[in-house]
Structure 1
Amino acid sequence: MGAWEEETAIRFAGISQRKPNFKLGPITLDIPKGYITAIVGPNGSGKSTLFRMALDLEKPSEGTVTLLGEPVGQGDDVEVKQKIGFLPEETLPHEDKLTAREKANFNSFWYKDWDVNRYQDLLLSLQVNDNLQLGKMSKGMRRKCEFALALSHAPELLLLDEPSSGLDPLAWKTMIEILHRYMEPGNRTILMTSHIVEEVKRLADFIVFMAQGRVLGVYEKDELFSSWFTFFVSGDGLTAQKAASMPGGSGVEPAGNATYRITTGKAFEAEQWCEANGLQIVGRQALELDEIMSTLLQQESIGRR
């Protein structure tokens, strides 16, 4: 086993796929073991397709997927799938007539590490009645139930597609706490998608930005948020052209009184640049996740023209 296999939970190597109205890739992406990685991006970016490829529910036209050190789609994969928990974004209609307890009994047959005590503890924490039919539950109740089912065999790798969809604030907070506890042993991995900025900020160690079937960038979370700022800069001789030469600059706008509003993805280098050029930073504002995403999308659009 190679060194990267020991440190990588999932490797997407040069994968691509073509559909009538969508092209994915080519994408090369490593999901590190022992961390939470969040994929964020607009609807239709290809996030759920990556999940389905990891589970061998869809095949790439080109490239390979390796999961927990084993190539996906080659030979018997029962053992490796025992180590995975999956929470899809959409529920399965053919399960609507099952009670949650019946689905749990079915899962316990397939997962050798299924722990009924863990399952009951999760139901208690999430306040779920598993004697109800899945199809008669509210969206939030069913989401909590499916979440408990995905965790009850203590998977080594957890795939969560929009995990908090339909949850009320209290249930959302409980889910965050459960996932933090789940990661405590240090040898587990979560790959998730989410549109909830606060969820990504609370959970993710790494953030992957996707759009239109491509990866725009992979960032360590704390480094990302410490790098992206909007600076308000003034000084003698400052012009729009000069402001545009700021390191990491991705947008310049006049802000009045000989001041320019400059967005940068390299805040530390930008501060040094201002000092070296005798310019003053008269204000600064950290960018939120959706603002960073919007800026990256603009850069991608300009780069493709």
Structure 2
Amino acid sequence: MQSPAIEVKGMVQKRSHFELGPIDLAIPRGYVTAIVGPNGSGKSSLFRCLLDLAKPDRGEIEVLGEKQGAFDNWQMKARIGYVPEENSSVYDHMKAEQKAAFTRQWYPQWDINRYQELIRRFEIDPSLKLRKMSKGMRRKFDLILAMAHNPELLLLDEPSSGLDPIAWRTMIDVIHRYMESGERTVLMASHIIDEVRRLADYIVFIVHGRVLGMYEKDTLLESWSMLYADTAGSKEQWRSMPGCHSAEFAGGSTYKVVTSNMIESEEWCRARGIHILSKQRLELDDILTAMIEQERLRIQS
């Protein structure tokens, strides 16, 4: 079996106002994995630890088979492309073409033809100074720099921030084409649900610094559902239903139930003579909301 592109074991990072972890995570090679969670959940902090830009207090991290701490090796860094959540102002005095010339020195696999292709696709004027660029234009340029050396691993922290709809669709297409070889890996953090649906093969939910689970996207969307059931029973009966996350009285003898295991939930209802009036699959934001509520109850208990 192919080793993970990223493996995190028991990682904890403590700060005065926030604790990340403990996190155990294995990101598969050759796929797009999206990290989804509310603001302040630790997504950017996790990215910085993966890149050795920040140190965890304990635990182990391996990226592309190299343990954290080996990243002083420029050959290792040259295998990774990274787009941070916030643009750096350090290079604002440079023109785009000057920043590209500076950046390419660190990447032996820099592909000038690929760079020029992306410049054209994203409609960037390379003679423009970075400080003159809009937020969306700067975002496109940062993505170009991250992909011009055809990295083995691409880390994207809120990649579509500031992009207009046309640029967003271009980004989706560029990432799809980047993944065509089957040998590259993307780990992205995003709060754009449609972006996750279009790009991700796997989804990681993170809330309050804790990873709540990693799921194959299609299986996740097929499993989570909301059903309305007609039963004379009490609210407590739903606690034994497989996958039940919540059950609310909806009036009359009807209950609204959220489940993460629709197949077993239907079988459980049939076995008890409970009639399902209707059911619908949940969207990713609804699933995240249910998980956040479950985590809130866990913390309070």
Pairwise same-fold verdict (TM > 0.5): yes
Question: Does residue 86 in structure 1 map to residue 60 in structure 2?
Answer: no
Aligned residue pair count? 300
**Residue in 1 aligned with 2:97?**
101
Question: Does residue 48 in structure 1 map to residue 39 in structure 2?
Answer: no
Equivalent-residue separation in structure 2 for 1:96 and 1:158 (angstroms)? 24
**Residue in 2 aligned with 1:192?**
188
TM-score (structure 2 length as normaliser): 0.97
Secondary structure at the counterpart of residue 70 of structure 2? coil
CA drift at 1:87? 0.4
**Residue in 2 aligned with 1:246?**
241
Equivalent-residue separation in structure 2 for 1:238 and 1:230 (angstroms)? 18
Question: Does residue 259 in structure 1 map to residue 254 in structure 2?
Answer: yes
Matches of residues 1-305 of structure 1 in structure 2 within 5 Å? 6-74=2-70, 76-235=72-231, 237-304=232-299, 305=301
After TM superposition, the structure 1 stretch with the greater mean CA deviation from structure 2, 182-191 or 13-22, is 13-22
Tell me, yes or no, if the aligned pair for 2:5 and 2:63 is still in contact at 8 Å: yes
Tell me, yes or no, if the aligned pair for 2:193 and 2:284 is still in contact at 8 Å: yes
After TM superposition, the structure 1 stretch with the greater mean CA deviation from structure 2, 77-86 or 195-204, is 77-86
CA drift at 1:28? 1.0
Percentage identity across paired residues of the two chains: 51
Tell me, yes or no, if the aligned pair for 2:74 and 2:106 is still in contact at 8 Å: no
Tell me, yes or no, if the aligned pair for 1:96 and 1:135 is still in contact at 8 Å: yes
CA drift at 1:301? 1.7
Secondary structure at the counterpart of residue 254 of structure 1? strand
CA drift at 1:128? 1.1
Secondary structure at the counterpart of residue 21 of structure 1? coil
Secondary structure at the counterpart of residue 283 of structure 1? strand
Secondary structure at the counterpart of residue 62 of structure 2? strand
- Structure 2 unaligned segments of length 5 or more: list them: none
CA drift at 1:207? 0.5
Tell me, yes or no, if the aligned pair for 2:6 and 2:26 is still in contact at 8 Å: yes
Question: What do residues 65-123 of structure 1 show as CA deviations (whole Å, max 9, x unaligned)?
Answer: 11100111137421111110000111111111111111111111110000111001011
Tell me, yes or no, if the aligned pair for 2:85 and 2:157 is still in contact at 8 Å: yes
Tell me, yes or no, if the aligned pair for 2:20 and 2:210 is still in contact at 8 Å: yes
Equivalent-residue separation in structure 1 for 2:282 and 2:264 (angstroms)? 17
Question: What do residues 28-82 of structure 1 show as CA deviations (whole Å, max 9, x unaligned)?
Answer: 1111111101001111111111111111100011011111001111374211111
Equivalent-residue separation in structure 2 for 1:98 and 1:185 (angstroms)? 34
Question: What do residues 246-284 of structure 1 show as CA deviations (whole Å, max 9, x unaligned)?
Answer: 211111111223111000011111011111111221111
Tell me, yes or no, if the aligned pair for 1:243 and 1:260 is still in contact at 8 Å: no
Equivalent-residue separation in structure 2 for 1:22 and 1:13 (angstroms)? 19
- Structure 1 unaligned segments of length 5 or more: list them: none
Tell me, yes or no, if the aligned pair for 2:224 and 2:261 is still in contact at 8 Å: yes
Equivalent-residue separation in structure 1 for 2:44 and 2:255 (angstroms)? 40
Q: Which amino acid letter does the alignment assign opposite residue 55 of structure 2?
A: K
Tell me, yes or no, if the aligned pair for 2:8 and 2:59 is still in contact at 8 Å: yes
Q: 1:96–1:68: structure 2 CA closer, same or farther, 3 Å change rule? A: same
Equivalent-residue separation in structure 1 for 2:204 and 2:19 (angstroms)? 18
